[in-house]
Each structure stands twice: as structure tokens, then as C-alpha cells.
Structure 1
Amino acid sequence: MDASTPHATPDFRLLFDATLSPLLVLAPDFTIVEVNRAYLTATRTGRSIVGRVIFDVFPDNPGDPSADGVANLRRSLRTVVATGRTDTMALQRYDIPTGEAGEFVERYWSPVNTPVLDGDGRVTHIIHRVEDVTDFVRLRRAGQEQERAAADARTRAQGMEIDLFVRAREIREVNEQLSRANTDLDATGATLREEQRAKDRFIATLSHELRNPLAAATAAAELLALDLPDGNPALSVLERQLATLVRMSNDLLDGTRAVTGRMELVRGRTDLRSVVH
């Protein structure tokens, strides 16, 4: 195709309907104006919900005395209309009707409400985006081994990503130092050796200094876990990231010991099966 050939203007209604994220468009009075297929699939509804107030379509589950989905969503939508700013809601339980009389199915959602503003800054519509996180919540609540393994895998992947980034950055910095040093290697050899020793001392000091704040932060996270026996997604993220930082600090310390010749090897028996595994 010739690069100068103009592309056809996309049909934004088709793009909206093909979006994988469940999306609902609301008027400022919370009447449903438009909905995409992903939302209809996630909520087990049809296009007949268009033109109705969202709270009439999705009332609170009368069988759950603690249901607060309507109140929390209404508060978020009112905030968006009043401020003209996006409001990201906390993870929310909001059961949906099954289609049978009086029957509801348990659902957990991650909602975000975004305003659409006209030229004068007034809210004309609200884009209500949700993600169904019910399976994730059920796995956490049940404490199944599969979820724990998945969480460990995510933690390891995050740690590997951080380690690769740090190591790549260190390699790039060393290469830049070598490139500059090659122009006058004889004259700067002594200086480079001193800089290397200074860097090793700095890393050794840094790795030791990091231990104190990391220990305090880890202890604080453990206290928070005691105060939140039911758990909290934010606390889980904090614990995983603290574990990653502790491991990185230990890696820095081991690396410094290896460079300075103070690495101590302790011999011992090892089950080769665990190594192979």
C-alpha cells in the first residue's frame, strides 16, 4: 500500500463494542446510555438495560445484609459528576441477578469511573469500566495451593525482572566507564582502581544500611498482618515487594563479599534431588 494512501476512519461504535474490557456509558443521572459486549457478557445481561438507571438494573442483593455495592458505586459516580475527575474504587463485592426471580450470584469487581467533559468542562457522560475479579477473590479466600503457587511465581517473576534491570544498568555503567578509560588507560589506571575500591565500599555500606529500614518495614508489615486477619490486597503487595528488597540487599552484600575476597564458603551435605528439582 502506498504510504500516502489515507486510512479509513474507524467506526468508533464498533471499536467500543469490540473492546475487551467491560464498559458502560452513563448519563449524569446514572441512566445507562450505551454498553459493550464484554460488559453484557460479564454481567449476564442484554441490551434491554440501555435506557434504565444502573441501580434499577443492579440492585443490592437482598439476601446479603452487609451488601454495600449500590451505596459505594453511587458515592463514586456522584464524586465524578461533582469533581469532573476519575474515581478508582476499591475492590467491591457487588452481586448480580441471575435472571431467576430473586436469585443473585456472588461477584467481585474492580471498578473505575471516568468522566467525559464537554468544551466547558461539564460532565456529559461517565464511562464505567469494571473487571470481574471473582475468581481471584475466591482463590485467595479459599487459600488454595494453586493460588499460592501463582503468587510465588509472580513474585519470582517480579524479582527476576528487577534483577535483570539492575544488572543491565550496572553493565551499561561499567561499559561507559571502560569506554572513557580506554583513551588514557595508563594515566588513569591507578584512579580507576581507587574508584573500584570506593564503589565496593559504597555498595558494602549501602547493603548494610539497607538492612535496618528493611527490617523495620518488614516488622511493620507483620504488625499490619496481625491487625488485618482477613488480609488486604495492598498488604500482600507490600509483603512481596519487601521480600524482593530484602533479597536484593542480601545479593548486594554477597556480591561485595565476593569482589573483596571475603566470601566464605561453608561446605555441607546437599540432597541432589532438590537441586535437580
Structure 2
Amino acid sequence: MVDSPVWHAVVLGIIQGLTEFLPISSSAHLLLVPWIFGWDHLGLTFDVALHIGTLLAVAIYFRRDFFQLTVDVHRSLARKAVAGPEDGRGRRVAWAIVIGTIPALVVGGLFGGTIEGVFRSPVVTVVTLSVFGVFLLLADRYGEKNRDADSVRWTDGLLIGCAQAVALIPGVSRSGVTITAALLLGLARRDSARFSFLLAGPVVLLAGLKAVFDLWQSGGPDPHLVTPFAVGIIVSFATGFICISGFLRFLQKKDFVPFAIYRFLLASAIFYLLAASYLES
């Protein structure tokens, strides 16, 4: 049972749903859990399932926001008059998300394969977990935290988007690095997370489309993985949806220190496993 593809789908679906939205790196966990337990990778079919699940989670949770942001972009492109101040802020946030998506799209499209090949290792993960954990602590401690998500401008979106591109390196954490950048730009904790999640929508969608394209190019889904595929979608969606809701409530009163500490502990555990493996070899 524990070595079955369905069981792997349950475990990795939970990990994806949790770590995609918490600042602790989904790529690190999805790389390390199979490595620790000696599991074979389930292939592109399951990668698509995980992306679909987390995409559904963020899209459904923020469905009203994404609908309004889409309307605001359309109005802006059509050059319609904006009546009230709330509409004006909404349009700025919408364009901040559009512009913030571009750096990850460009870097991922041009160098994504190279970055994954060069940096996909437990050693790199130890370093990035630790270093960006320090950055998160410093941003949480010294960021002004006096702005809300509706105050975001296109320049903020560009800077946070550039930070998001760095998350292509395993262990950095997409949510972690974008939240760190938002905190440094003065956004409050909860608003930093909210903007990070809104920015995640287009990125997760594009990553999912790329995974679908790669799957199609490889000959289509594996018919033997239909059940794990469905399980992966359901588990990653349910876990991701609950995680988003719980995380935003948590940040109403708490800070990011527990997540930075977790990153340090995880990096230490990985370093120990690497050292033990090296000494035994």
C-alpha cells in the first residue's frame, strides 16, 4: 500500500497543497520526499494533476478577485472611464499582477530547463532554504507593514515579479520570496500573502499549461495512472484551499517567524541526511 502510486499521490498531493502556498518551498518538499523514501517519480501525468489541483484551489478561493481583476484589465485596454477611487485601485492591482507575471514567464521560458538541471539537488536546497529563510525573517522584522494590497502599483508588481522569477531555483519558495519582497515594499503581512496568492494564479496556470503541453508531446497521459491522477487533483485542491484560508487567518495576528524556523530545521535535517549518506558511502 505505502509503495502504490495512489499512496504516493495522496502524500505528494498533501505536500503540494500545503507547500505551494506556505513560504516553505513546494519544490524542496516534492524533490526531497521521494528522495528520502526512494520513490520513483510518477512522471508528467502526475505533475499535471498537482498543478490542476493547486490552480483550482487559488482560482476558486479568489474567484471574485480574479473576476474583478479581469474586468479591470479589460476596461483599461478598452480605455473606458474609471469612475470611482476603488475602481482606480483595482485597475492598478490588476496591472501589477499582469506585469508581475512577466519576469517569471520570461526567465522560465528561456532558462527554466537550465535552472532546473543545474540547481535541482539537495545541496542547493539546503542553501536556499536557509538563505531565503533569513531574508524572510529580516523582511518580517524590518518591513514597515503599513500598506494594504489595494495600494500596490505596477512598479511593486514588477519588483515582486522579479523576486518570483528567483523561485525557479528549488528551495527558494515562490510564496516565500514574493511575500518577502512585498514585506520589504511595506505591505502588511496578510496583504503580502494575499497579493502573493493573486500573483500565483497566472503563474500556476502557465506552469500547468506547460506541463500539459509536455505531457502531450510525450505521448499523452499514462492510462495506468488515471486513479493517481484523479487522487492527486482532489487532494492537492482540498489541501491547498484549506491552506490558503487558514494561512490568511493565521496572519491576522501572527508573524512569519514559525515558517522561517521551519525552513532552518528542514535545511538542518537535509544536511544531516546528506552527511550521513556521504559518511556511509
Give the structure-1-normalised TM-score. Answer: 0.24
- Greater strand share, structure number: 1
* Higher Rg: 1
Give the structure-2-normalised TM-score. Answer: 0.24
